[in-house]
Chains A and B, each alone.
Chain A
Amino acid sequence: MNLKRSKKPMIITLALVAAVYIAVFIAEQQLPATSMLFTVLKKGAVYALVAVSMNLLNGFTGIFSLGQAGFMLVGAYVYGIFTIPVVQRAAVYQYFDGGVIQFTVPIIVAVIMAGLAAAFFAFLIGLPVLRLKSDYLAIATLGFAEIIRAIFQWNGLGPVTNGSNMLRAFPNFNDFNIKDTQGNVTVYLSTLIPFIMAGVCILLIVLLINSSYGRALKAIRDDEVAAEAMGINLAHHKRLAFCVSSFFAGVGGAMLAMYQTTVQAKSFTSAMTYEILLIVVIGGIGSVTGSVFSSFLFVACSEWWLRFLDEQQTIGDFQVPLLRNGFRLVVFSIIIMIVVLFFRRGIMGDKELPDLLSRRAGKKGRAVK
């Protein structure tokens, strides 16, 4: 970050962000709630947060961690466990006599607890794992995610985690809608709230990145030995980044639970981590705005725009060949390979939106002179 950066691009960026939030709010009141748009926006917001949290590790600190799905799992479970209404517990924990936890906490507390639990797990895992180097670290974190998954599925912990069975009936995004006494929705907030949650978390990550801590992390990424020579405590900073990233992955997991309305350890596989990693790569490793953009693009393509590839289409009398279930994913993976091979810097490289705006402003400024 250059010190003499003008404030103008920053203001434009903030204005753009505000405009997006207003647009989301208006769209939600005007368009039918069943539109696929809102699915994409909700899931996109969740993935944006998780991708940014992964970027904090992989892009800004240079720790190649593949444990994201594991931390999301912890977050999703903690959120679910502490928010399922007590009256529903007998039904949800049907094989475990209603489970041992018989109270709920407010949603926001549960979300923070989700983050803290994930961070705590990260702290424990970090003690041994962060000593490892690049790809050993990757495979060790991947392994830990699998271990976490097995632990949460173990019947022995059933009274708390419901074993391998799903958690459900906890508050989801639609419960944020404001309803009148008849149960009709008066103000739709089910998309705006996840946007706000993700937005606040991403803002916190951005503040961290731009703080002295963030500069230390980037120094570690660029050259560990030099960073250490500069007096940066490697172990401390790496652990901090790992825990912070996991905290937000945990919050993202809680949000994913709200989006999915059910949670099951089975679905938090390494494939989920790979998906998030690919989002980060497409957005640009080391760019927060890139991760956010690519999350929405990725979700929109996979859930919405490319869906037609999965169904048979006829143009006139011509039956388009190849289109059937699964083709969408083939096209999708080819696009990803092209990005990985030929556009390695992704959408944004390591630039942020204000950087792009200021470059343009800078050009204009020179032109005037």
Chain B
Amino acid sequence: MKKLIALVLAVMMLVPAFALADDVIKIGVYEPASGDSGAGGKQETLGVQYANAKMPTVKIGDTEYKVELVIADNGSSTDKAPSAAQKLVSENVSVVLGSYGSGVSIAGSQYFKDANIPAIGLTCTNPQVTAGNTHYFRVCFLDPFQGTVLANYAYKELGATTVYCLGELGNDYDQGLINYFKQAFEALGGMAIVDSFPNNTADFTSYLSNAAGYNADVFFCPVSIAYSTQIIQQASSQGLEIAILGGDTLDTNVVVDAAKGTSVKVICTTFYQEGANAEFDEGFKAWLNENPDMMTNNGGNDMISAVSVMGYDGYVTALAALQAAGSINGADVMAALPSVEVDSVSGHIKFDENGDAIRTSAFVKTVNNETGAWEFVAEQTVE
């Protein structure tokens, strides 16, 4: 009997399951909804969802297509990434957006490549995501650039000579950015000490003691939201006096909430400064306030995270590519993407030969510990 059941189930496995209506176009959203990067992934997805709510259809040739988002949770981990990527591939999406976190983007890359589906990275800043392939594009800046901006800022503006860098073991984003930061910072004449913590660490007190032990002037921790909030809170109770510096992952309301009411100075580089595009800001906030679920996914308030903006811009880019391709076939979209140019919320997007958006500036922000809001510090460019 049990064998029979097993056989029946085995037969079920052979039944392929997909049906495609003619006037629907599917865009895959390959983002973490759980794990260390879950909070960031959800905010990035919100940007895409908002864009989809605003632009639910796209006209390709003479046909008006309804855009359907297929969301797959890659669990912030490279071992769950394959099945999430496969899910999108098996749903025949035309283009994939994502992911938050460079590691999972690289882990899913091969699946999209094999299925001839182009992917547009939204905030995965590690150069390895697009290097050496023709199917992965990205709308944000890269880590060598961001690392240099941060190093310049630490050295010139904060006057640091020793920086303590802390990243998560096995997180390609952390390790990559720290590596580029270290290169740039040591080229300037400073000293960068690199340390790593195993994943699922909750106790950062000893790492904070390490920073003090090395007499560091800046604590550089471009880590996931999950860890950065804990580091800030523990820094506060240990009375850390030096500034905490981070990359684009720190630009989120969760970090602001953690730093509010403390004396910890938090500085980060990011893609977008709230207020730069009033129309988008208002629209997005109104949309969040209408949807309580979305508000929860945004961390409980309507502060705009730069990753949401990048999600929005990625969606706009994807639609432009679909229109340029004049087809919903992944391979055609891939062929059309390199020449796509759009003007969107975060600025002008145009791809270089690697498929990376050409970006020459990043925003530097700091948390106002009293009001609990981001304050604009500078717009940094690197030649």
Residues of chain A whose beta carbon lies under 8 Å from any beta carbon of chain B? 23, 27, 31-37, 39-41, 43, 88, 91, 94-95, 150, 153, 155, 163-166, 168, 172, 174, 259-262, 264-267, 272, 293, 296-297, 300, 303, 305, 307, 310, 325-326, 347-348, 353, 356
Q: Are B78 and A262 in contact (CB under 8 A)?
A: yes
* Bound Cα distance from A40 to B170, whole angstroms: 27
Q: Are B6 and A266 in contact (CB under 8 A)?
A: no
> Which residues of A sit under 8 angstroms from B34, Cβ to Cβ?
325-326
Q: B81-89, B234-242, B338-346: which lies at the A interface?
A: B81-89
Q: Are B87 and A36 in contact (CB under 8 A)?
A: yes
Q: Are A37 and B2 in contact (CB under 8 A)?
A: no
Residue on B with the closest CB to A310? Answer: B73
> Which residues of B sit under 8 angstroms from A23, Cβ to Cβ?
14
Looking at chain B, what size class is its interface with the partner chain?
Answer: 35 or more
Q: Are B16 and A325 in contact (CB under 8 A)?
A: no
Q: B46-54, B107-115, B147-155: which lies at the A interface?
A: B107-115
Q: Are A325 and B2 in contact (CB under 8 A)?
A: no
Instruction: Indicate whether A95 sits within 8 Å of B179 (C-beta atoms), given known contacts A260-B79, A264-B78.
Output: yes
> Which residues of B sit under 8 angstroms from A305, Cβ to Cβ?
12
What is the interface of chain B mostly: helix, strand, loop, or mixed?
helix
* Bound Cα distance from A40 to B83, whole angstroms: 9
Q: Out of A31, A94, A164, name the residue touching B170 (CB < 8 Å).
A: A164
Q: Out of A91, A150, A166, name the residue touching B107 (CB < 8 Å).
A: A166
Answer whether residue B94 sits at the interface, using C-beta atoms and an 8 A cutoff.
no
Q: Are A37 and B14 in contact (CB under 8 A)?
A: yes
Within 8 A of A (CB), among B269-316: none
Answer whether residue B21 sits at the interface, using C-beta atoms and an 8 A cutoff.
no
Q: Are A150 and B198 in contact (CB under 8 A)?
A: yes
- 12 A-B pairs besides A27-B14, A88-B132, A261-B111 with CB distance below 8 A are A34-B86, A37-B13, A91-B132, A155-B196, A165-B172, A166-B107, A168-B110, A260-B78, A264-B107, A303-B83, A305-B12, A353-B3
Q: Are B73 and A164 in contact (CB under 8 A)?
A: no
A79 to chain B, nearest CB (A): 15
* Bound Cα distance from A218 to B221, whole angstroms: 53
Q: Can you give 21 contacting A-B residue pairs, CB < 8 Å? A: A34-B90, A35-B16, A36-B87, A37-B13, A39-B86, A88-B132, A91-B128, A91-B131, A91-B132, A95-B175, A153-B169, A166-B107, A168-B110, A260-B78, A260-B81, A266-B77, A266-B78, A296-B13, A300-B13, A303-B86, A325-B33
Q: Are A165 and B175 in contact (CB under 8 A)?
A: yes
> Which residues of A sit under 8 angstroms from B19, Cβ to Cβ?
none
A334 to chain B, nearest CB (A): 19
> Which residues of A sit under 8 angstroms from B6, Cβ to Cβ?
293, 297, 347
Q: Out of B17, B90, B103, name the residue touching A264 (CB < 8 Å).
A: B103
A95 to chain B, nearest CB (A): 5
> Which residues of A sit under 8 angstroms from B10, Cβ to Cβ?
296
Residue on A with the closest CB to B15? Answer: A37
Residues of chain B whose beta carbon lies under 8 Å from any beta carbon of chain A? 2-3, 6, 9-10, 12-14, 16-18, 33-34, 73, 77-79, 81-83, 86-87, 89-90, 92, 103, 106-107, 109-111, 114-115, 128, 131-132, 169-172, 175, 179, 196, 198-199
Q: Are A267 and B77 in contact (CB under 8 A)?
A: yes
B116 to chain A, nearest CB (A): 9
In the A-B complex, list the 3 residue pairs whose CB atoms are closest, starting with the nearest: A266-B170, A267-B79, A164-B170
B227 to chain A, nearest CB (A): 14
Residue on A with the closest CB to B73? Answer: A325
> Which residues of B sit under 8 angstroms from A40, Cβ to Cβ?
13
> Which residues of A sit under 8 angstroms from B73, Cβ to Cβ?
310, 325
Q: Are A164 and B175 in contact (CB under 8 A)?
A: yes
Q: Are B2 and A348 in contact (CB under 8 A)?
A: yes
Q: Are B90 and A36 in contact (CB under 8 A)?
A: yes
* Bound Cα distance from A174 to B112, whole angstroms: 12
Q: Are A300 and B9 in contact (CB under 8 A)?
A: yes
Residue on A with the closest CB to B116? Answer: A34
> Which residues of A sit under 8 angstroms from B114, Cβ to Cβ?
33, 174
* Bound Cα distance from A300 to B171, whole angstroms: 29
Residue on A with the closest CB to B196? Answer: A164
B337 to chain A, nearest CB (A): 20
> Which residues of B sit under 8 angstroms from A36, Cβ to Cβ?
17, 86-87, 90
* Bound Cα distance from A95 to B143, whole angstroms: 14
Interface centre among A43, A260, A307 (most CB of B within 10 A): A260
> Which residues of B sit under 8 angstroms from A259, Cβ to Cβ?
82
Residue on A with the closest CB to B82? Answer: A260
> Which residues of B sit under 8 angstroms from A39, Cβ to Cβ?
82-83, 86, 90
Residue on B with the closest CB to A35? Answer: B16
* Bound Cα distance from A322 to B79, whole angstroms: 26
> Which residues of B sit under 8 angstroms from A303, Cβ to Cβ?
83, 86
> Which residues of A sit under 8 angstroms from B81, Cβ to Cβ?
260, 262
* Bound Cα distance from A98 to B229, whole angstroms: 35
B32 to chain A, nearest CB (A): 11
Q: Are A164 and B86 in contact (CB under 8 A)?
A: no
Instruction: Indicate whether A31 sits within 8 Å of B16 (C-beta atoms), given known contacts A91-B131, A164-B169.
Output: yes
Q: Are B110 and A172 in contact (CB under 8 A)?
A: yes
Q: Are A297 and B9 in contact (CB under 8 A)?
A: yes
> Which residues of A sit under 8 angstroms from B17, Cβ to Cβ?
36
Residue on B with the closest CB to A23? Answer: B14
Instruction: Indicate whether A34 sits within 8 Å of B115 (C-beta atoms), given known contacts A262-B107, A307-B87.
Output: yes
